[in-house]
C-alpha cells in the first residue's frame, strides 16, 4: 500500500538537552489490517508465550515458507492471503520482537484463545488481552500521527476477527462441567457477549469495518469425529448444535450493532455454506480427502500429534497436503485457507453479505 507521505521532525530545546519529536503523515489511501482471534489466524504469537499450543516445528510451514513459522497449517493462513490481495505485506504477530511499526496493521491472534478468558487460561492470549494490546497500539499511533490522523487511519483500517471455536470445543475435550450450570443458549450468550463488547471497544478506538466468518459444522473436524464412539464417521453433534446457535446469535448481534454504532459495517463469510458444498462435492474444490487430516494419528488422524510435540510422538504425514482439506486434526491446509480467503475477499452477497473485504479496502 501507499508509503509514508511525510516525516516532520521538531527540535525541542530544554536547559539540559535537545529532544527530537517526529510526526508522520499518511497518504489518504493508506489502509491497514488488524487481526484478532485464535489458531485459525495466529501467525506465530504463541511462539513467544509459555504454551504447548505452538506450531513452530516441522511439518508446519512445509509448503510455502519451507520452515515452521508458528502458523497451524502447511503454509499461509487466511489473513496472509487477505493482506496479499490488499497489496499489504504479511501482517506480523504483535509479540514478534522488534515489531514496533503498525502502519500496515498487526496480528494479535493466539492459538487456543477464546472469547471467554477461562478458555485455556494461562496458556493463550485471550480476547480481552488481545484488545488491551490493540489499545496500546492505538495509543502509540495517536502519539505518532496525532489524534485526528490516527482516528482517520483506524477508521479506514479493516479488522478481521475469528474466535469462539475453542470456547465450544474445550468443554468436550476436557473434564469441564460448564454445561451442568449453563444451558447451551446461555453459554453461547456469554461467548457472543464478550465478542460484542470487544467489537464495541474497537469501535470506540476508531474501528468501523469488521470482517467475520461464521462457523461450519465444527463437530465434523477430525479431532471431534475421532471422539465419537465406534468411529462410525459421524460428527460430534453437540458441538454442531453450539455452532448453529453461535451463528444465529452472531448475526443478530452484528445486525444490532450496524443500527446502533456509528458507521459500523461488517462482512460475514458464510463458512457453513462453503463447507456444505465442499462435503457434497470435494472434487469440485480440488480435494480428494475432506474427512481425514494430512498430519496426525488415530482415527481420521484426529489425534493432535502432528509434529510429535504434544504428548504423542508418533504421527502420520501425507505426501501431498494440497489433496487434503484438513492439514492437522483441527486446522485446514493452505489450499483450503486460500479458497476461503478468496470468498471472503470477493465472494457474492449470499457468501459475504452486503460487503466483501475487497469492498472494505476500497471504501
Please identify every residue annotated as catalytic: 39, 328, 331
Three-state secondary structure of 64-94: CCCCCCCCCCCCCCHHHHHHHHCCCCCCCEC
Distance between CA atoms of 163 and 212, rounded to whole angstroms? 9
DSSP assignment of 113-154:
--SSTTTTTTSS--HHHHHHHHHHHHHHHHHHH-HHHHHHHH
Q: Are strands 33-37 and 158-162 parallel, antiparallel or unpaired?
A: parallel
DSSP assignment of 323-346:
GBSBSSSS-B-HHHHHHHHHHHHH
Tell me whether residue 239 is exposed, middle or buried, using C-beta atoms within 10 angstroms of its C-beta: 0 to 12, 13 to 18, 19 or more: buried
Any idea what DSSP says for residue 213?
E
C-alpha cell at 68: 515452521
Distance between CA atoms of 126 and 123, rounded to whole angstroms? 9
Any idea what DSSP says for residue 96?
S
260's CB contacts (< 8 A; 6+ apart) are none
Amino acid at each position: 500500500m501507499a508509503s509514508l507521505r511525510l516525516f516532520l521532525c521538531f527540535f525541542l530545546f530544554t536547559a539540559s538537552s535537545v529532544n527530537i519529536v517526529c510526526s508522520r503523515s499518511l497518504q489518504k489511501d493508506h489502509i491497514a489490517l488488524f487481526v484478532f482471534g485464535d489458531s485459525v489466524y495466529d501467525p506465530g504469537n504463541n511462539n513467544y508465550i509459555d504454551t504447548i499450543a505452538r506450531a513452530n516445528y516441522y511439518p508446519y510451514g512445509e509448503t510455502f515458507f519451507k520452515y515452521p513459522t508458528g502458523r497451524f497449517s502447511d503454509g499461509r493462513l487466511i489473513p496472509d492471503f487477505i493482506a496479499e490481495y490488499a497489496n499489504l505485506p504479511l501482517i506480523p504477530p504483535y509479540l514478534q520482537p522488534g515489531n514496533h511499526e503498525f502502519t500496515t496493521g498487526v496480528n494479535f491472534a493466539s492459538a487456543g484463545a477464546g472469547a471467554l478468558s477461562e478458555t485455556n487460561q494461562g496458556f493463550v492470549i485471550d480476547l480481552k488481552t488481545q484488545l488491551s494490546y490493540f489499545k496500546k497500539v492505538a495509543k502509540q499511533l495517536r502519539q505518532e500521527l496525532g489524534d485526528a490522523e490516527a482516528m482517520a487511519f483506524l477508521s479506514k483500517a479493516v479488522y478481521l476477527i475469528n474466535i469462539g471455536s475453542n470456547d465450544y470445543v474445550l468443554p468436550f475435550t476436557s473434564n469441564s462441567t460448564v454445561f451442568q450450570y449453563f444451558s447451551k443458549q446461555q453459554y453461547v450468550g456469554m461467548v457472543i457477549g464478550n465478542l460484542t463488547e470487544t467489537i464495541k471497544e474497537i469501535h470506540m478506538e476508531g474501528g468501523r469495518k469488521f470482517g467475520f466468518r461464521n462457523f461450519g459444522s465444527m463437530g465434523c473436524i477430525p479431532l471431534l469425529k475421532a471422539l465419537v464412539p465406534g468411529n462410525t464417521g459421524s460428527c460430534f453433534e453437540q458441538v454442531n448444535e453450539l455452532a448453529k446457535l453461535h451463528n444465529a446469535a452472531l448475526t443478530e448481534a452484528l445486525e444490532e450493532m450496524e443500527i446502533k454504532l456509528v458507521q459500523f459495517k461488517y462482512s460475514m463469510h458464510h463458512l457453513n455454506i462453503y463447507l456444505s458444498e465442499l462435503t457434497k462435492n470435494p472434487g469440485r474444490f480440488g480435494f480428494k480427502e475432506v474427512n481425514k487430516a494430512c498430519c496426525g494419528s488415530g482415527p481420521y488422524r484426529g489425534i493432535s500429534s502432528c509434529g510429535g510435540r504434544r504428548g504423542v510422538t508418533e504421527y502420520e504425514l501425507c505426501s501431498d497436503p494440497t489433496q487434503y482439506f484438513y492439514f492437522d486434526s483441527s486446522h485446514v491446509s493452505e489450499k483450503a485457507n486460500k479458497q476461503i480467503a478468496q470468498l471472503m475477499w470477493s465472494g457474492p452477497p449470499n457468501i459475504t453479505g452486503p460487503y466483501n473485504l475487497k469492498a472494505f479496502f476500497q471504501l
